[in-house]
Amino acid sequence: MTENSSDFLPVPGVRLGTTCAGIKQPDHRDLVVIELAAATQTVAVFTQNAFCAAPVIIARQHLAEVMPRFLLINTGYANAGTGDRGLENARQCCKALASQIGCRMEEVLPFSTGVIAEPLPVDTITRALPDAVEQLQAMGWSDAAWGIMTTDTRPKLVSRTVGIEGSQITITGMAKGAGMIRPDMATLLAFITTNAQVAPGTLQDCLHDAVAQSFNRISIDGDTSTNDACVLCATGQSDVEVSASGVTNDAFRQGLTEVCTELAKGIVRDGEGATKLINVQVNGGRNTAECLAVAYTIAHSPLVKTAFFAADPNWGRILAAVGRAGITELDITAINIFLDEVCIVRKGERDTAYTEAQGQTVMDRNEITVQIDLDRGTDSANVWTCDFSYDYVRINAEYRT
């Protein structure tokens, strides 16, 4: 199932409630509470931005002390760059929910997204909490996916069923993000749940690998948010136990990675002002690191991205990006470059069979794969990005207004 699907699958042991708190805009879904059944195992990865937001700091602290029973998410204000006041505001919101529910403050993990450096309106949030709690339901995913959005134009919601040794588990997740996206996780937020039984160490390992292949392989504008977080919760309410290795582990990892990848690609498709999804695929590297270096140099290039927006087959910009990616001893006479099925560069120079019309046909498509063959090893890597349009500048120029 893909994002925006109304056929999402609820996860036993998870309930979601969403309300319009009026945090930044009236009549706008902007506050979400997620309830997790007792004994749910929860792990997370967070932004590596040194200027991480107050909710990231508090969520890390709480998660280190006790397994959470509730996740609290607000949009409108990121509560980043707010100092000690921001930390206290995040704690106050956790306390308010804990007091209402009857749990420890540490059993609440806070998450925020929106404008940086503005104080969190604690009173506004706490007044709306009773309604969010009253709305808690297993089928609350769709409203919640809308409720965590900021500049997103559509929700990202994905479900999978995974067959494991004759039984089935469910993995359902949602994500938000459209700008300030070049995750380095371990303003992207992702919340993924499953009813499988998974020990915390194994769950963390699976999440780390899935994020490395999905959320950490996307770039919209090359900016790493102060608030990035990806949370994985396993309620254990199925009879499937995922082991630390072996068949059950392999099947769960694959299903989790598929969900994360679909959510990540949904974020890129919904990039601020984006009109194209670009898959940058680098093959034949000596190691994954140099493949990623090439892929990210292309994905971050404003000249490459604007050429894709214009549907202009100016592939010299791609060639230049490969050359400045910092790969040592790069033999340019070994490099081949393709736009989808069209070879534009063979052995380091324009392919003799290439025509501008062929390039134009590919550039007019909404989804394009740029394939670079380095021919110096066996490793490969993928990065997903999008084009830069006029709307990207407009959206970010007007963001605070």
Task: For strands 108-112 and 31-36, give the pairing.
Answer: unpaired
**Could you give the CA distance from residue 85 to residue 92 in angstroms, rounded to a whole number?**
10
Q: How do strand 379-386 and strand 218-219 relate by DSSP bridges?
A: parallel
**H/E element, 99:** helix 83-101
Instruction: Given the residues 18, 113, 187, 235, select the one marked as catalytic.
Output: 187
Residues in the chain: 401
How far CA 218 is from CA of 63, 115, 260, 261, in Å, comes to: 26, 22, 11, 10
Structure token pair of residue 224: 């790493």
Amino acid at 142: S
CB of 285 within 8 A of CB of 380?
A: yes
Chain centre distance of CA 7: 21
- Cβ contact 264:384 at 8 Å: yes
Instruction: Report the alpha-carbon distance of residue 123 to residue 127 in Å, rounded.
Output: 6
- Annotated catalytic, 288? no
Chain-centroid distance of CA 147 in Å reads 16
The 3-state secondary structure of 350-371 reads ECCCCCHHHHHHHHCCCEEEEE
Which residues, other chains included, contact 381 with Cβ-Cβ below 8 Å and sequence gap of 6+?
A: 217, 281, 282, 285, 288, 291, 292, 295
Catalytic residues: 187
